[in-house]
Structure 1
Amino acid sequence: MSEILFLSHRIPFPPDRGDKIRSHHLLKRLAAIAPVHVATFADDEQDAAHEVELAITARSWRLVRRRLPLPLAGAMALARGLPVSLTAFRDSRIADFVAETLRVRSISTIVVFSGQMAQYVPADFAGQVIVDFVDVDSAKFDAYAADARWPMRWVHAREGRLLAAEEARVAMRADAALFISPEESALFSARLAPAQRARSSLVTLGNGIDTDLFDPAIVTPEPQMAALSGPPLIFTGQMDYPPNVDAVVRAATRVMPLIRAVVPDATFHVVGRKPAPAVMALQGVNGTHVWGRVEDVRPWLKGADLALVPLQIGRGVQNKVLEAMAMALPVVASPQAATGIPAVAARDLAIGHSDEDLAAQCLSLLADRRGARRIGLAARRFVEQAHNWDAVLAPLPALIAVGKARRNAA
């Protein structure tokens, strides 16, 4: 029987952040197609504690605790002329597992989740290679460089340049390169040279949401939020991720003052694990509450009046937006936060381009509770219809079959 090797830069359990949600559902669907062997990393002991769930899903696996400090990875990458992203995820234990699995198992397909794991695909592997880039990582670093000061401007620009070259190499090696939205696929294509573009097969495979789990009918509001006076606004996500840090700083220091000038008791709640120092410093600023990691984000979404998502750097499809919409919570988002979500503005969510626009949209919805409820219900209908995981991943079995045929024909 043909089997699958799945390489992921983070263990797909628990599905509690954007990349892990996607890799979790991708792995589950692959395991329904054929036996799957998994090589992956744990960021911390909390991740490592979920190895039992990996064991239930995978035929065999290798879970490695990633301990290389980022500054050391940066120094090693600089010395070797490599992207930091690759060096940070290079480990001989993963390489050894891949080599042994390919030697003793009938692996016909290697599925790579996140481009930095493609370094483990042997040059002489004759089977099918599918790489889920999700979004264009090199473009993120280009954006970081544009906003940074020296020396980080140079660091980010170097990473963007080297990572773009690696992405192009991987895309030409793969039978299919997956992206989370047509916008990301088009962006990646535009960054390739014509010859590279001709040799690459770019495929859009969207993001989903578990609407049975994220259902406002089965969740009660978070008591800590309900105990506070004033309308609560919320932002959820991994809070050491730079675009999220930038977004909540913007919300707390630039948007919330405009809202509180009209609604003085409005509060802003930041919910997500590993809040960076810049996020922790927002505690108490303009009604901001920083809660950090929570066991279940759904009660917090249920307890909020609005989701405020003012991302200034946005790639792919934002799970935080889909989760809020699934919970029938009205979302006020920047255009970057809504990228890749084909929702209708003013029907399924509200869009604000500037700080003033975002504040005005929030104030309008806070003043019109019936209208806010109407948008929330429309948002839930939208994700039920357009972002159900079963529908999103339905093309995957055929994609793998087509890839095998193309490889065999070659």
Structure 2
Amino acid sequence: MEILFLAHRAPFPPDRGDRIRSFNILSYLAARARVHLVAFVEEDGAIAPEHRARVDECILVRRTKPQVRAAAEALATGRPVSLTAFADCRIKTAVNDLLARRSIDAIYAFSGQMAQYLPGQFPRVIMDFVDLDSAKFAAYAADAHGPMRWMMQREARLLHAFERQVAGRVTASLFVSEPEAALLPGSLAVENGIDTLRYDPALVTPVPADHPLIVFTGQMDYRPNVDAVAWFAERVMPLLPDAHFAIVGRAPTPRVRALAGPRVTVTGEVADVRSWLAAADVVVAPLHLARGIQNKVLEAMAMARPVVASPAAAEGIDHAGTLRVAVQPEDYAATIRELLAGPEQADQLGTAARRQVIGRYGWDARLKPLDTLLGLGPA
């Protein structure tokens, strides 16, 4: 069987949320079929041999279109910016060429931006939206003002129409969680998993910590992460005078870097995020806007850390009470103080979290529905 895999960002290395999902899906498919990859990359660079070996043909196109140009194209054509930002004739040519040369049995499109490259008719197409982007922009619009509010509303409206049109012509539409799938009728949830062999606290040396350590991990130029750490540093940390807050993740924005101080560390990119998770007394995920299942929460749970998360970050995760949920700054502070004051209780919560993740979120188990959807044979 031959599968064409389209991705808005090359699936390797699996070092951020979307790439972790796409990498594991691609690996699952490649163990059962011949996979050809067409994807964007954000910068030129060599592909590790073990990653290149997972696919047959591999066509990577560097995405260089400035956001201003994408916005101008969107306004001129009546399309969403999310699509014009990823509109590239080189990708279209590569897709058409592969479909003409190879006996492609199925197409797997990862992220809604790649739906624009799907042929008009094809017998088996899986559209992995991951999250419903139109809902994300609707949430952005609610917090925006002036022209930006208009742009976010426009994006939400146009994307919603596009998502519904795409869902109506593919074999299956997938989302990362049941609540997300429910937003587009007829869709299915294929949840994220976690590599519990890699995320094992027994294999990692924690970074040194002189004070009770609270850790947040994530891509730090992603708006929901930026808003979350700024809110936590400004609203919660003043209530926890004896604790230290570490913001761990690549590409911190100026707003994030400005949070650094005597009790807040902004690491930037680190060699191994597991060392920071292993050192954490508590891991927090105070996201006000979160779509689908949060990898950062699963990773912390797999590392047997006690997690305190917002309702949005906890939604979609079958945590069975193995993480704590908080809303207001006072809720976070009280819960974190309780965990810091009772290390045995915190350890029990973390141990239960790891046990839950092992039993519920192994990648092979999560991706098993793809066998039926794609007609895959055994690995």
- For normalisation by structure 2, the TM-score amounts to 0.97
Q: Superposition pairs for residues 201-280 of structure 1, below 5 Å?
A: 201-222=186-207, 226=208, 228-260=209-241, 264=242, 266-280=243-257
* Structure 2 residue matching 1:28: 3-state secondary structure: helix
Q: In the alignment, is the contact (CA less than 8 A) between 1:51 and 1:63 conserved in 2?
A: no
Partner of 1:392: 366
Q: CA deviation at 1:188?
A: 2.4
Q: CA deviation at 1:70?
A: 1.3
* Structure 2 residue matching 1:187: 3-state secondary structure: coil
Q: In the alignment, is the contact (CA less than 8 A) between 2:229 and 2:247 conserved in 1?
A: yes
Q: CA deviation at 1:89?
A: 0.9
Aligned match for 2:327, one of 350, 353, 363 = 353
RMSD (Å) for aligned C-alpha atoms: 1.3
Q: Superposition pairs for residues 62-211 of structure 1, below 5 Å?
A: 62-123=59-120, 125-189=121-185, 201-211=186-196
Q: CA deviation at 1:53?
A: 4.5
Which residue identity lines up with residue 8 of structure 1 in the other structure? A
Q: In the alignment, is the contact (CA less than 8 A) between 2:320 and 2:356 conserved in 1?
A: no
Partner of 2:277: 301
Aligned match for 1:336, one of 312, 315, 330 = 312
Q: Give the distance between the partners of 1:49 and 1:80, measured in 2 at CA.
A: 36
Q: CA deviation at 1:52?
A: 4.2
Residue by residue over 1:270-326, the C-alpha shift from the partner in whole angstroms, topping out at 9 and shown as x without a partner, is 0111111111111117x1110011121100111111101110001100000000000
Q: CA deviation at 1:147?
A: 0.6
Matched, 1:319 2:295: yes
Q: CA deviation at 1:51?
A: 6.1
Structure with greater helix percent: 1
Q: CA deviation at 1:398?
A: 1.3
Q: In the alignment, is the contact (CA less than 8 A) between 1:334 and 1:358 conserved in 2?
A: no
Q: Percent identity?
A: 53
Q: Give the distance between the partners of 2:342 and 2:170, measured in 1 at CA.
A: 50
Partner of 2:58: 61
Q: Give the distance between the partners of 1:57 and 1:173, measured in 2 at CA.
A: 29
Q: Give the distance between the partners of 1:380 and 1:113, measured in 2 at CA.
A: 28
Q: Give the distance between the partners of 2:50 and 2:133, measured in 1 at CA.
A: 28
Which residue identity lines up with residue 219 of structure 1 in the other structure? V
Which residue identity lines up with residue 247 of structure 2 in the other structure? V
Indicate how the Cα distance of structure 1 residues 52 and 85 shifts in structure 2: closer, same or farther if over 3 A, else same: farther
Indicate how the Cα distance of structure 1 residues 52 and 67 shifts in structure 2: closer, same or farther if over 3 A, else same: farther
Q: Give the distance between the partners of 2:183 and 2:239, measured in 1 at CA.
A: 34
Q: In the alignment, is the contact (CA less than 8 A) between 1:248 and 1:310 conserved in 2?
A: yes
Q: Give the distance between the partners of 1:49 and 1:158, measured in 2 at CA.
A: 38
Which residue identity lines up with residue 359 of structure 1 in the other structure? A
Structure 2 residue ranges without an equivalent (≥5): none
Q: CA deviation at 1:126?
A: 2.7
Q: Give the distance between the partners of 2:329 and 2:19, measured in 1 at CA.
A: 31
Q: CA deviation at 1:94?
A: 0.9
Which residue identity lines up with residue 212 of structure 2 in the other structure? P
* Structure 2 residue matching 1:39: 3-state secondary structure: strand
